[in-house]
Amino acid sequence: MSDDVPGRLEPPLVRLAVVCEDVDESADGRPAIIRFPVHTLQFPGLLERNYQVPGLVLYLQLQGGFGSFDLRVRMRRVDGSREVTVSPTYRLILATPGDAVPLELALKLNHLVFPDPDVYELMVYVGELNLHEPRDAAPRPFPPVVVAALPATGAEGGVV
């Protein structure tokens, strides 16, 4: 988190998080249509390690919050090992506390690399705070996004 706003800082809540192949925008530039949600992918060809999936997007709805935050996405195996940051840092400025209308974001995951076949979680952080972990403002937070990466079979691979 950042201390750019003196006084109260209130992290937002994750209301929805979906990994997909693309997000179409409306005429006013807001995310409008989630295209091809992704839950499983397969390593291509005979590739066994470090699969960089082209063109995935994380669609987010964040609600509430107040202050200035550094937002990023991290990925880890579901067993909690090997956590990596997979997105650049985005500056998030929330100026309307308790806003009932969610903020919609489409974050490109251009640097997302699956180290090897396994099941992974993608989590949204503001500063060092994992927005998918329980806290006073979110005793039952939105769960991390889960993506399974299957081993290669010699076929083309990609989203299943």
Residue 133 to residue 83: CA distance in whole angstroms:
15
What are the structure tokens assigned to 78, written together?
Answer: 């579901």
Handedness of CA 80, 86, 89, 90 (dihedral sign): negative
- Return the higher-pLDDT residue of 124 and 85: 124
Asked whether residue 4 carries a pLDDT value surpassing 60, the answer given is no
| Residue 36 CB partners (closer than 8 Å, separation 6+) | 20, 21, 22, 159
Q: Structurally, how many domains does the chain consist of?
A: 1
Confirm whether 157 is domain-assigned.
no
Q: What CA–CA distance (Å, rounded) separates 103 from 89?
A: 17
Global pTM?
Answer: 0.88
Q: Which residue has the tokens 């180290």?
A: 115
Structural domain contains residue 89: yes
Whether residue 20 is contained in a domain is answered as yes
Domain assignment of residue 48, given as a range: 13-152
- Residue 5 pLDDT exceeds 60: no
Q: Per mean pLDDT, which range of 37-46, 55-64, 66-75, 78-87 is the poorest?
A: 78-87
Q: Is pLDDT of 38 > 80?
A: yes
Q: What is the CATH number of the domain that holds 142?
A: 2.60.40
